[in-house]
Every structure is written in structure tokens, then in C-alpha cells.
Amino acid sequence: MTDFADSPAVRRPADWNLERLERLADEHDTPLYVIDLDRVKENYARFAAAFPDADVMYAAKAHTGKAVLEAVLEVGGTIECAAWGELQRAIDAGAEPNTLQYTAVNPPDHDLDYAVDLAADAPGLTITIGATDTLDRLAERGYDGRIAIRINPGIGTGHHEKVATGADAKFGIPYEQVPEVADRVREEFDLVGLHAHAGSGVLTDGLEEHCRAISRVGEMARRVGDEHLEFVDVGGGYGVPYREEEQPLDLEKTSEMVRDAVGELDAQLKLEPGRYVVADAEVILTEVNTIKEAPDTTVVGVDASLSTMIRPAMFGSYHPMLNVSAPERGPIEATVGGPVCTSADVFAHDRPIAEPERGDVIAIGNAGSYGYELANQFHSQPKPAEVALEDGEVRVARRRETLEDVTRLER
């Protein structure tokens, strides 16, 4: 395995250059996303080194920013997409269309039209189906190309019930129906692989259940004839520790357990890390605007909100925080929330943080995965800017939206 001793297995907010972060907040205003593309490349390379014989595809849905996709492609990664827009953005970033994999989940007509049109000129494109309806709709469009079957293994794993896809009927062909579906695909299309995704945010102590789901995929591959498949794709879901006391994913142990779970296969192993590649490569910088003493807590108001990052409101997610302006101050327990008019707009309750003052900059860590992807315009708030760090340089990867951007489609 490649030695990444000089690259920490997880980057905490305190590991960033705090003076630089404060300068960026001053120069580019807040709230501000800061993505470290060097870290993205390190994370992808570290994961790929743990699976040297596998095809490691980056799951674009974690962060589809062009700068991130370009960084993954630069270090030899391929890209897995879950919607037509991600396919287009991957191509715009420089991906070879023949290397793309499109995982269709209840795909709208427009998505299928786009994928079929793309495959006409890029026959190497793989479409992963999770319902026989999708096969019918592809056949109606004259498609007879590469198909992977998404299996529902009946076992869900991950950090939250809303991401435990392996046990959710929405995702994949029911396990015992797969052989029959495989026969049909072989008759009408080109069956190239099997696919499953058990869930997201799996750390070392959750590997056993995760691998129990993966083992079912290996069993099904042998049952339908893995010697006739190009690949067996066990998805992603490999996590990063959001809480300070959590340990980083043990990649060496993960690699051993995943391979043991899948078992002997003639087909190539595929994996789709997303969160692992980008989560700790990005922080949100937000400015303190309000300090309010309440009977049970100190309320710290900031200019970021659930429209900046919705994960705490949507999943109850924990994100580490650091007072970048004065990390040496004594800590207080604070409730940190934004300007959106709902009690869900809170990043942390009773969180120890170096005592903030108005004007301080707070860094919210592990924001790279499903941070900007789920940003929205609630309360007519324009989306924040995103700056990218790479090879010692800083550039604006996305400009800050204006109110004109928010309203320009209205008539």
C-alpha cells in the first residue's frame, strides 16, 4: 500500500492554516466554502491504493463541482453519476464518456433520453438499472447496450436511516428476482455487471454489517455467472469521522474485509467512494453576527444557515467547529445557528467553542460531502461562493450568487 504517512487520515478544522482561512473570509466574504483540491487528490489516491486491482469510481453526487471532478480525473479516477446532469458535468470536466457509469434511480424520461443519446456515440457507457420498468423504457428507446443490475441486498448500513439504501425498496431489484432479470438482460441487452450500495458513512466499527451486505452481492454474482460479467460494483459508503473522538476508517482492514466478503470472482471489483474523497477537503467559513445570552445557553448567530448546508437540519449531522479568529480563547457552550426562520436552522446545540465575539470567523469542518450539493435558496438567500486551493494557489471555483441569480428565471 502506498505510504501516506505525511497525509493525515482525516483532516480536522484545526489542521487547516487558520490565518489563511481568516484571510479568505476577509477577501471573499462569508459564508464561504473553501475546497482543498490537493486534499481531494490525496484522499482519492489513498483509497485507490488500498484497492490496487479495483476500478475506483468517484461518486459524483457527493460534490459535482467542476474543480473537484477535474481533480479526480487528474489522478486517474473515473466517475459514477446518478443523474443526467452529473453525466454532463463529468464530460464538461474532461471525463471520457465511454468510462462513465450512470446509476439510474426512478429516472425521469429526460434522463433516459440523455443517457441513450450519449451511449449512441459512447458505447462504453454503462447504465445501471434498479427496476424492470427501466429496462422496458430503455428498450422502447432502442437501447441494447451495456447494463448493470442494481441489487437490493436487504441490508442497509450507514450513519442515518435516510442513507441506508441497501434495505430501502426504492433502490435495486429485490434479491431473489435478480437471476430472472439477469436472464432477460442477457437476451435483450449486454449484461456487464452487478451493483449494490448498502449505505453511507460507514466507519471501521460498522464494517461487519456493511460486508454482510456486500457478501450477498458476491454470492449473487457467482449465482448468475460472474465469469460472464466484467465487474461487480459494491458501491461506496466509506465514511470519515465527523466527531472528534471517532477514529478514521482503517483502509487496510476495510480492503481485507471487503475482498473477503465479496469472495473469489472472475469479474473485476468496483467501488464508488464519494464522501471519503471530499468530506474533509472542505470547510465553510461563517461570520458571527449575534451573541445572545439565554437562560440555558449562549446563542451564537452566524451568517451561514441551512440554506448554506442542510445536513444538520436534514440528518441531525454533527459537524466540527472551530473559532478561527481566536482558537486560544477559553471555551463556552454555545448554540450556533443561522438567520433562517426555523428551529431547524441550528448547526450545534451546547457545543464547546472558543468564546466567540461579533465579527469572529467560525470554520465548519467536513463540509465537502453533500454540503454545496444540497445548498439552496431558502429565504431568497443567494448561494455562497466557493474558493479552491491547489498547489499553493487560490482561485474562485464558483462566484457568489446575487439576488438577480435567485430571481432571474421568474416571469
- Cα–Cα distances (Å) from 152 to 82, 89, 175, in that order, read 16, 28, 6
Q: Determine whether the annotation assigns residue 338 to a binding site.
A: no
Cβ proximity of 73 and 93 under 8 Å: yes
Tell me which residue of 33, 43, 41, 44 sits closest to 10, measured CA to CA: 43
Question: Annotated catalytic residue: which of 142, 341, 359, 392?
Answer: 341
Q: Determine whether the annotation assigns residue 311 to a binding site.
A: yes
Tell me which residue of 263, 169, 258, 255 sits closest to 221, measured CA to CA: 263
Beta strand 157-158 pairing with 146-152: unpaired
Give the span between the Cα atoms of 244 and 300, in whole angstroms: 21
Task: Collect all residues with Cβ–Cβ distance below 8 Å to 241 and sequence separation of at least 6.
Answer: 10, 203, 247, 248, 249
Q: Based on the residue annotation, tell me whether 341 is a catalytic residue of this protein.
A: yes
Q: Determine whether the annotation assigns residue 275 to a binding site.
A: yes
- Cα–Cα distances (Å) from 32 to 26, 66, 129, in that order, read 10, 17, 37
Tell me which residue of 402, 360, 407 sits closest to 384, measured CA to CA: 402
Residue 326 burial by Cβ neighbours in a 10 Å radius (0-12, 13-18, 19+) = middle
Q: Determine whether the annotation assigns residue 273 to a binding site.
A: yes
Coil, strand or helix: which one is 75?
coil
CA atoms within 13 A of residue 63's CA, in its CB half-sphere: 34
Give the span between the Cα atoms of 358 and 183, in whole angstroms: 65
Q: Determine whether the annotation assigns residue 274 to a binding site.
A: yes
Grid cell of 30 as nine digits: 462569508
Binding residues for pyridoxal 5'-phosphate: 237, 272-275, 370
Binding site for substrate: residue ranges?
275, 311, 370
**Which residues are annotated binding-site positions?**
237, 272-275, 311, 370
Could you list the active site residues? 341
